[in-house]
Amino acid sequence: MKDQASGGVIVNNASVGGLFGTRGGAAYIASKHGLVGLTKNIASTYGREGGNIRCNAIAPGGVNTNIQSTITAPHPLGSAALADAGPGKLADPMEIARVALFLASDDSSFVNGDVIKADGGWTAR
């Protein structure tokens, strides 16, 4: 990206778990916090080089995917912690994809190093 005049855009997929030390598996939460830090580091380091490399992240809340079907033996402690953690409505994956499209487009050309929450207001309370 540094070698091309057009630069580039990186859109990372984090989680609201990466913004708050919230419920969920410790490894998952730590990895999402790390991804938020990596996003900010890339934006700060490479965004200064002509401003043509941008890096942002999306922090979704609950999204209607098949992830629950892949967890065959959830830990009881984690299940109990997540029992009341839901946002109410789950996002349709296309709702998150539209945020990614915005961040990858020229419409967000001055957005760099940010984390956009897409959680339906879950973390607003």
Q: Are 61 and 87 in contact (CB under 8 A)?
A: yes
| Residue in 2, 8, 21, 28 annotated catalytic | 28
From residue 64, how far is each of 25, 48, 60, 80 by CA, in Å? 19, 37, 11, 20
Q: Are 58 and 95 in contact (CB under 8 A)?
A: no
In the residue annotation, 28 being an active-site residue is answered as: yes
DSSP state letters, 2-17? TTSTT-EEEEEE--GG
Instruction: Locate 27 and state its tokens.
Output: 């490894």
Alpha helices of the chain — where are they, by DSSP H?
A: 26-46, 67-70, 76-82, 93-104
Which residues are known to be catalytic?
Answer: 28
